[in-house]
Amino acid sequence: MRVVMFGYQTWGHRTLQALLDSEHDVVLVVTHPKSEHAYEKIWSDSVADLAEDNGIPVLLRNRPDDDELFEALKSADPDIIVANNWRTWIPPHLFNLPRRGTLNIHDSLLPKYAGFSPLIWALINGEPEVGVTAHMMNDELDAGDIVRQEAVPVGPTDTATDLFHKTVDLIAPVTIGALDLIASGKTEFTKQDRSQASFFHKRSDEDSRIDWNWPAEDLERLVRAQSEPYPSAYTFHKGKRLEILAAVVSEGRYGGTPGRIFYREGEGVAIVAGADARSGRNHGLAITRVRTEDGRELAATEYFTAMGGYLTSRP
């Protein structure tokens, strides 16, 4: 099939490479200009460079809403558009233009975790698995019929970076498998159960801030979800920002005020956590590694030279 590719960053790059390695013919690539947004600089393999290296015409757009792009798409005469990590709305007159419509590749197990940063949100929320979904695009974001979907389990120590590497390897089989089904003439696919749908917004600095009223289990997943190279989870100590680079749920149970720097436990320092922490039934969060406001990385036991005091959600 003749394919127009809409994509950006490493997800788009992997999709384009999968298409180049397949029997399908990529006739045009549309991608975004480089961004300085913290999350968009992380996995930043260039879709434009890969396309140009393979002699494929490239158009750079923040939004696909101009007449020049529409005319270029018509001239490309695609059988299908394949989109992966396209960051803005594609209007119906574009996604309905190809003979076979538009196939979107999304890094979650739809209908759950539509929208942005699904791997991070899924890890924070304790989901047992994550995955990749290829679905037909319609008027509602990430809501079209599912053509192919594959999942991988979330391990007990997996970080968001680990999950990225697990799911990015699913892009080629999910994308090409879905295209092959469409090319075979199949037109009926799996409807999404919209009663199970959830939608998540783009992550921001505020979403990495630690709230010590959360249970320690949730905070431990937040720290893993904000692993390098993502912006780290953070708190405040004596009015200064302190990034939490590594932590585990404490073995002991600690009662008192959430955020209290309480007890040295093994290689970590236990912090009281949880809205009902005063009962003494809660596990704490044992912080093992931190980064200070001036960029120093330290073992928590080296940073916290004395117990007592508080970590706070605000300076």
- pLDDT of 195-224, one tens digit each? 999 999 989 999 999 999 999 999 999 999
Q: Which of 142, 175, 200 marks a domain boundary?
A: 200
The average pLDDT across 263-271 equals 93
Q: Which domain covers residue 134, as residue numbers?
A: 2-200
Q: How far apart are CA 13 and CA 9, in angstroms?
A: 6
At position 260, the amino acid (one-letter code) is R
pLDDT at 38 over 90: no
Total domains present in the chain: 2
Q: What is the mean pLDDT of the chain?
A: 95
**151 sits in which H/E element:** strand 146-153
Residues 243, 148 share a domain: no
Residues 218, 192 share a domain: no
Report the CATH number at residue 228: 3.10.25.10
Q: How far apart are CA 299 and CA 256, in angstroms?
A: 24
Report the CATH number at residue 22: 3.40.50.170
Residues 91, 53 share a domain: yes
What pLDDT shows up at residue 37?
Answer: 60
Residues 233, 135 share a domain: no
Q: How far apart are CA 242 and CA 300, in angstroms?
A: 11
| Percent of all residues in the chain with a pLDDT value above 70, rounded to a whole number | 97
Upstream peptide bond of 229 is cis (omega within 30 degrees of 0): yes
Q: What angle do CA 267, 249, 300 make, to 5 degrees?
A: 35
What pLDDT shows up at residue 280?
Answer: 84
- For residue 144, what pLDDT band results from cuts at 50, 70 and 90? very high
- For residue 237, what pLDDT band results from cuts at 50, 70 and 90? very high
| Percent of all residues in the chain with a pLDDT value above 90, rounded to a whole number | 90
What pLDDT shows up at residue 36?
Answer: 61
Q: Which of 200, 226, 257 marks a domain boundary?
A: 200
Residues 215, 126 share a domain: no
Tokens 């127009």 label which residue?
4
**103 sits in which H/E element:** strand 102-106
Tokens of 73: 């798409």
Residues 52, 9 share a domain: yes
Q: Which residues on adjacent β-strands are paired with residue 200?
A: 115
What pLDDT shows up at residue 276?
Answer: 87
Residues 120, 75 share a domain: yes
Q: Which of 200, 222, 253 marks a domain boundary?
A: 200
Closest CA to 7 of 120, 117, 90: 90
Chain centroid offset of residue 85 CA: 10
Residues 138, 272 share a domain: no
pLDDT at 57 over 90: yes
Q: Which residues on adjacent β-strands are paired with residue 312?
A: 236
Residues 169, 32 share a domain: yes
The average pLDDT across 90-109 equals 97
Residues 218, 195 share a domain: no
Residues 238, 150 share a domain: no
Q: How far apart are CA 139 and CA 190, in angstroms?
A: 17
φ, ψ (nearest 5 deg) of residue 55: 70, 25
Residues 176, 246 share a domain: no
